Amino acid sequence: MPLNYHHLRYFWAVAHDGNLTRTAQRLNLSQSALSVQIKQLEERLGHALFERRGRQLHLTEAGRIALDHADAIFSTGQELVATLTGTVQSRKALRVGALATMSRNFQIGFLGPILSRIDVEVILRSGSPTELLEGLGTLNLDLALMNRPPPDDSLTPYETHQIGEQDVSIVGSPERLDPDRPIRELLLDQPFILPTTDSSVRTAFDAMASRLSVRPQIAAEVDDMAMMRLLAREDIGLALVAPIVVKDELNSGRLKEAKEHPLIKETFFAITLRRRFPNPLVQDLLERSTSSAFLS
């Protein structure tokens, strides 16, 4: 049996309002008639689309997927009318998720080609790796920016695109950091601000310290790049960061960079979901963006 698009539109209206009574009044329908329409759609799809919490309706996981498709269907309808009538087309949307700990400078640099387009609206959300992958899986995100690839096996529907790589440096205040000193000497007598132990950068740093037979003093372990940047500026210790994180401070001279590099790299990935109808903006962004374009 084909999908009844009247039922889908009623569901779409209720999902955006979050209130059955209000939607029924706006559409000049009885609440019971609207409930019947949505119930018939749920029966057609084989899943409950809403769950009631008090007086509010909340989407189920199936409801979120249905809403995503409904948004796309009715947006396409608006674009069809705009195209054939010669009116202005509506803006396209790109929904991007990024690790809450990822450098804001990196995010802006990568998204630059899209942010400058007046016909595109970028919806940017942050979260943990689990939240980002769930967002891709429920089609609430078109793209996720991470600094490590997701699990790779035949059952995972993710596509991993390496979009950049940058050397990690040791930075600190001019009063604390002598840029000409070797790394081993810095490790011996300076406190360090480091990523947490679940970071690939931290793993590489610990291996380097082990090779140099040094146990560095740890001033702080931080999983947020903005906090690491602040601690370095406040002279709490030397920070292990990619220069893009502190580019403003390096340019102003508020922070200095050690001349000897620790030979550690941070890699950036764009994660997408294998979809039959991918957002064309994603491919456009991946084609336009190169490591030299936004990491320099």
pLDDT in tens, 257-266: 999 989 898 8
Report the DSSP pairing between strands 92-99 and 217-222: unpaired
Residue 198 has pLDDT above 70, yes or no: yes
Listed in sequence order, the residues at least 6 apart from 223 whose beta carbon sits closer than 8 Å to its beta carbon are 101, 195, 196, 198, 199
Q: Which of 56, 85, 114 is the last residue of a domain?
A: 85
Residues 122 and 187 occupy one common structural domain: no
pLDDT tens sequence across 116-158 = 788 888 889 888 888 898 888 877 889 999 988 887 766 668 8
Cβ(170)–Cβ(257) below 8 Å: yes
Query: Are 67 and 188 in a shared domain?
Result: no
152 and 185 share one domain: no
pLDDT higher than threshold 70 for residue 289: no
With beta carbons less than 8 A apart as the criterion, state whether 153 and 291 touch. Answer: no
Q: Where does the chain show beta strands of DSSP type E?
A: 50-53, 56-59, 92-99, 120-127, 143-146, 158-172, 191-195, 217-222, 238-241, 256-257, 264-273
Residue 78 corresponds to which tokens in the numbers above? 């608006």
User: Do β-strands 92-99 and 143-146 pair in parallel, antiparallel, or remain unpaired?
Assistant: parallel
Q: 3-class SS at 191?
A: strand
User: Under a CB-based contact definition with an 8 Å cutoff, are residues 119 and 111 in contact?
Assistant: no
Contact (CB, 8 A) for 61 and 31: no
pLDDT band at 296 (very low <50, low <70, confident <90, very high): very low
**pLDDT tens readout for residues 164-182:** 888 899 999 999 999 999 9
Of 30, 51, 85, the residue at which a domain comes to its end is 85
Place of tokens 């360090």: 192
DSSP state of 151: P
Give the tokens for residue 214. 């040094």
Residue 16: CATH number of its domain: 1.10.10.10
- 184 with 261, same domain: the answer is yes
Render pLDDT for 68-106 as a digit per residue (tens, 0 to 9). 888 888 877 877 776 677 655 556 788 999 987 787 778
pLDDT (0 to 100) of residue 61: 85
Q: How does residue 295 score in pLDDT terms, banded at 50, 70 and 90?
A: very low
Q: Where are the alpha helices (DSSP H) in 155-239?
A: 183-189, 200-211, 225-233
Closest CA to 111 of 292, 277, 282: 282
The pair of structure tokens assigned to 147 is: 């600094």
- Maximum Cα interatomic distance, the chain, rounded to a whole number of Å: 77
What is the rounded distance in angstroms from the CA atom of residue 215 to the CA atom of residue 241?
A: 19
**Total domains present in the chain:** 3
End-of-domain residue from the set 85, 108, 129: 85
Average confidence score pLDDT of the chain:
85
Task: Tell me the backbone φ, ψ of residue 88, rounded to 5 degrees.
Answer: -70, 135
Residues 66 and 78 in one domain: yes
Q: What is the model's pLDDT at position 86?
A: 61
- State the CATH number of the domain containing residue 226: 3.40.190.10
pLDDT of residue 231: 94
183: its two tokens: 């790394």
Domain that holds residue 200: 166-265
80 with 194, same domain: the answer is no
